[in-house]
Amino acid sequence: MLQRPRGTRDFLPDEMERRRAVEANLREKATRWGYREVCTPEFEELELFTIRSGAGIIGEMYVFEDKGGRKMALRPEITAPVLRMFVSEAKVLPKPLRWYYFADCFRYERPQKGRYRQFWQFGVELIGADTPRSDAEAILLADDLLRAAGIPCDLHVGHLAPMKHLLQGLELGAQAKAMAFLDKRDFDGLTPFLAGIGRDDLVPRLRDLAHARTLDELFAVTGEIPEKKRIGEIVEILDKNSLVYTLDFGIARGLDYYTGMVFEGFAPNLGAENQVLGGGAYRLAHLFGGDDVPSCGFAIGFDRLMVSLGEVKADRKVRVAICTTEEGRIRGFEVAKAFRDRGICAELDLLDRNLGAQMAHAAKAADFAVILGQREVATGTVTLKDLQSGEQKVTPLDTAVAEVAARVPR
């Protein structure tokens, strides 16, 4: 038997209904904040992703050469494609642009629960705004989306400036390495690394930075820094909006386009792969031939969110099973259409089963049975049976449709 590719999943109808219900909530919420959907290609020129991060990330991507010899990659994330699109299609539109996407990404990772090679992100990009309020909007929107999805989440909010301030004496490569250790809170790795370049004096301050949970604690480590006012303003907005979050200046983020505020969300009921969201303020447009437009955004890992939600059932649609004797088979199509035209799901038997077998199937799969036998065909009526209560009556088709329609939740 052929297997699906490693790190991918198949989704049966029950699971798709659950996913679509959550997705609909996220879309609805993002729309209320003024965000509009965009869509970019599933594959892009490889350079789009290496231009900022270097060739190092090729190992984490699905890279291929197309028949014209061009180096391409399946998108590992959607921020770079969206900013590429912004530069090529939309740079003259009035700013800020509020865009969202729901789409799949591909990363060549070691698969485990919550970590896949194909996964979906629900993300937003706020392009062309660079104020404490744009930073705060991204964080508050993320919180609102996670609430709409129904998952509790610990939000951690930070800023790259304090970390960069402490590391400013190091050359860029060493800075990036130190930030990667800090992001993982890996002091066992960080300490020998800094000792190796003669800067183990930084370790205690970096440790204090990663543990700072208030602005006072933060600025006690860094002293005055130019971003002090901005960080204070972001915090003020979040607090005035009663957001529950943790200040965390140890966040460095894995992707290297971030420039200022950064934030992440963790689902407490997930295991190792518990980060359900990540984002921050960044600059990318200038790398793709545009002006240096500031942006801010985040992406929710939709699959992790679904794992965190657990086995919640989606609201099932009301279903009608049309059960017919031989005489009713042709009229069955017309009857099914009348229900569908009212937005009700109606299914016909296609297997030539007898009425008893059709009713037994309907009892498992539907909420109502509409029976079309010799008598109903002769009189132009239908028999409507409520499969929950067992009540049934002979009625004109219109009445049966209206009765079922009255039971469809609005």
Q: Give the residues lining the site for ligand HAM (CB under 6 A).
A: 77, 79, 107, 109, 115-116, 119, 121, 123, 125, 254-255, 275-279, 282, 297-299, 301, 303-304
Least distance between ligand HAM and beta carbon 155 (Å): 12
Would you put residue 58 in left (φ > 0), alpha (ψ -120 to 50) or beta? Answer: alpha
CB of 66 to ligand HAM, least distance (A): 24
Shortest Cβ contact with ligand HAM: which residue? 301
Under the phi-then-psi rule, with left for phi > 0, alpha for psi from -120 to 50, and beta for the rest, what region is 258? beta
Q: How far is the CB of 45 from ligand HAM (least distance, A)?
A: 18
CB of 93 to ligand HAM, least distance (A): 18
Residue 300 C-beta: closest distance to ligand HAM, Å = 7
Toward ligand HAM, which CB reaches closer, 45 or 208?
45
Whole-number Å distance between alpha carbons of 407 and 221: 63
Closer to ligand HAM by CB, 111 or 373: give it. Answer: 111
Q: Which is nearer to ligand HAM, 222 or 295 (CB)?
A: 295
How far apart are CB 128 and ligand HAM at their closest, in Å? 14
- For residue 356, the surrounding DSSP H or E stretch is helix 355-365
Long-range contacts of 46-54 (CB under 8 A, 24+ apart): 46/71, 46/72, 46/73, 47/71, 48/73, 48/80, 48/81, 48/84, 48/288, 49/73, 49/75, 49/76, 49/77, 49/80, 51/287, 51/288, 52/80, 52/256, 52/257, 52/284, 52/287, 53/255, 53/256
Pair 214, 158: CB distance under 8 Å? no
Residue closer to ligand HAM by CB (options 79, 324) is 79
Tokens 């998108």 identify what position?
75
Min dist. Cβ of residue 340 to ligand HAM (A): 37
* Nearest by Cα to 380 from 368, 398, 366, 363: 398
Beta bridge partners of 37: 100
Q: Which is nearer to ligand HAM, 303 or 376 (CB)?
A: 303
Q: Give least dist CB 76 to ligand HAM, A.
A: 8
Nearer to ligand HAM, 86 or 119 (CB): 119
Distance between CA atoms of residues 148 and 159, nearest Å: 26
- Of the pair 254, 373, the CB lying nearest ligand HAM is at 254
Asked if the peptide bond before residue 96 counts as cis, ω within 30 degrees of 0, the response is yes
Cα–Cα distance measured from residue 249 to residue 157, given in angstroms and rounded to the nearest whole number: 8
End-to-end CA distance of the chain: 44
DSSP β-bridge partners for residue 1: none
Minimum CB distance to ligand HAM, residue 270 (Å) = 10
Which residue, 280 or 328, has its beta carbon nearer to ligand HAM?
A: 280
Q: Which is nearer to ligand HAM, 63 or 344 (CB)?
A: 63
